[in-house]
């Protein structure tokens, strides 16, 4: 009797592993959940959700989440680089504008000094 049970189990296990029946691992997660929490309902929902995700996307839930995170990280990097480029552009423009204003103020100051100097020189010329 034991040898017959052993043969049947051996045939079933060999069938599972030799035919490429990889989804056996999808039973492992819910099985661990049942053993840890004792909640069969939670494990059933976990299994059904994983199967539904795999059916719709062709990927298991772990792969889907990983790719989504990588994609969002890539978007954040692009957004951050765009924000950095924009910040640098604005800073550069502010510096250029400040320099132009300083040059204009310097030119005004220089013109005023020239006028004051001329007026002083003319006063000196007239008194002599």
Quick: pLDDT tens for 67-118.
887 777 777 776 677 778 888 888 999 999 999 998 888 888 888 888 888 8
Tell me whether residue 92 is in a domain: no
Contact 32, 19 (CB under 8 A): no
Tell me whether residue 18 is in a domain: yes
Say what the pLDDT of residue 32 is: 67
Say what the pLDDT of residue 38 is: 65
Closest CA to 2 of 10, 72, 113, 55: 10
Tell me whether residue 120 is in a domain: no
Say what the pLDDT of residue 118 is: 85
What is the spatial distance between Cα 121 and Cα 115, in angstroms, rounded to a whole number?
10
Tell me whether residue 2 is in a domain: yes
Say what the pLDDT of residue 28 is: 65
17-47 pLDDT, tens per residue? 676 655 666 666 666 666 776 666 776 777 7
Tell me whether residue 112 is in a domain: no
Closest CA to 44 of 29, 66, 23: 29
Tell me whether residue 124 is in a domain: no
Tell me whether residue 66 is in a domain: no
Say what the pLDDT of residue 34 is: 66
pTM over 0.85: no
Domain span including residue 12: 1-58
How many domains does the structure of the chain reveal?
1
Say what the pLDDT of residue 117 is: 87
Tell me whether residue 13 is in a domain: yes
């Amino acid at each position: 009797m034991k040898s017959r049970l052993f043969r049947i189990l051996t045939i079933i296990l060999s069938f599972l592993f030799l035919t490429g029946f990889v989804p056996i691992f999808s039973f492992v997660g819910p099985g661990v959940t049942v053993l840890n929490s004792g909640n069969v309902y939670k494990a059933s929902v976990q299994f059904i959700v994983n199967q539904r995700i795999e059916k719709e996307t062709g990927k298991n839930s772990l792969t889907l989440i990983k790719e989504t995170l990588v994609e969002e990280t890539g978007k954040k990097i692009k957004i951050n680089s765009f924000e950095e480029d924009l910040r640098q552009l604005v800073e550069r423009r502010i510096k250029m504008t400040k320099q132009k204003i300083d040059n204009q103020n310097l030119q005004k100051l220089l013109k005023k000094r020239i006028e004051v100097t001329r007026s002083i020189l003319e006063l000196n010329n007239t008194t002599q």
